[in-house]
Amino acid sequence: MQTQVTLRRPDDWHLHLRDGELLKAVLPATTQHFARALVMPNLVPPVVTAADAESYRQQIQRAIPPASPFEPLMTLYLTEATQPDDVAEAAQSGLIKAVKLYPAGATTNSDSGVTDVTRVTAVLEKMAEIGLPLCVHGEVTDADIDIFDREAVFIEKVLDPLRRRIPGLRVVMEHVTTIEGVNYVSENDQSLAATLTTHHLMINRNHIFAGGIRPHYYCLPIAKREQHRLALRAAAVSGDSSFFLGTDSAPHLDDAKESACGCAGVYNAPNTLSCLAHVFEEEGALDKLEGFVSLHGPAFYGLPVNTDSITLEKRSTPLAADEKLQTASGPLTVFDPGHALYWHVV
């Protein structure tokens, strides 16, 4: 039985850090294990321009623990007022690594998002021209579409037509949650990739309703049936370089989660690597873990892999992780995988 695995230091290709005091509280969990992270721009107000991204990057850099080499990779929030030249200048300067498409109203702080992708054609054509990836929250928001079907409908009605109109556009389907999403990525060329989250590999929709409403398992896209979770796991351990880790770690304070209209998001940064080692061991694929967390993402984004490494060790005693992070504004619940974790980062 394998009890140790050494990996090039991982990157997180989908991370929410928020801002202000919450940023300061949650950032150390990521910097402890990850070399880089693609930081989502859905603040209030959102990170729309190059100037916004530079200001946000500086805020993150001030919060990085001393002596940490962590590098935040910035993104812009796509709106119908976004200017192609501003995007191109931000990318060519090295400031941003991607642009994020939120369908308006799809998730947390997405009200400024896009109502019709044809209205941002000029920006997307410029991105295709310069090779800048588009990260998409792949769900439609039509009221008549069931929440569990929104990803599959988005692929059919929005994403596939978009990629046919602009074939040179490089796209990352973020936090894929369905068999349809896995199949669509697997069957297409190297201009399309997908991130998979830690929690979607470990929970299905039953966890949200086990004995009552479990708000800390509520996220968007929402967890789906078990058959979809199994498809996600198969993709993660397949060795297919189109799939890589994006935790979608999305912190919300407990009072925002445990309310009459709770926020969507799972905070999994503190125990992600222990969870993933557990998953890959269960699937008999520990040899594929490094590719998923350390190699496939940099290859898609055209960045070098990290030169240093981390080691995970399986011990007889479970990980003694805190259930909550205490912040200046109140407690924040850490993702609970529902069972003990025996893989420790050493």
Q: Could you confirm whether 85 is annotated as catalytic? A: no
Distance CA 146, CA 101 (A): 21
**Who's near 146: CB < 8 A, 6+ residues apart?**
none
Catalytic residue among 144, 248, 255, 322: 248
What does the radius of gyration of the chain's CA atoms come to, in whole angstroms? 19
Burial of 17 (0-12, 13-18, 19+ CB in 10 A): buried
Query: In this structure, what DSSP letter does residue 195 have?
Result: E
Q: How many CB atoms lie within 10 A of CB 314?
A: 18
Task: Supply the CATH number for residue 330's domain.
Answer: 3.20.20.140
Read off the DSSP letter of residue 334.
P
Distance CA 182, CA 230 (A): 11
According to the model, what pLDDT value does residue 80 have? 94
One-letter amino acid of 269 = A
**pLDDT at residue number 27:** 98
Longest Cα separation, the chain:
56
Contact 152, 194 (CB under 8 A): no
Residue 30: the pLDDT is 98
pLDDT of residue 156: 97
Q: What is the number of structural domains in the chain? A: 1
pLDDT at res. 107? 82
pLDDT at 186: 97
Q: What's the first-to-final CA gap in the chain, in angstroms?
A: 18
Nearest-angstrom CA–CA distance, 119 and 168: 18
- Taking the chain (346 residues) in runs of 10, the rounded mean pLDDT of each run is 96 98 98 98 96 98 96 97 97 98 84 92 98 97 96 97 97 98 95 98 97 97 98 98 98 97 97 98 98 98 98 96 93 96 97
Instruction: Tell me what pLDDT residue 112 has.
Output: 83
Domain with 167 in it: 4-345
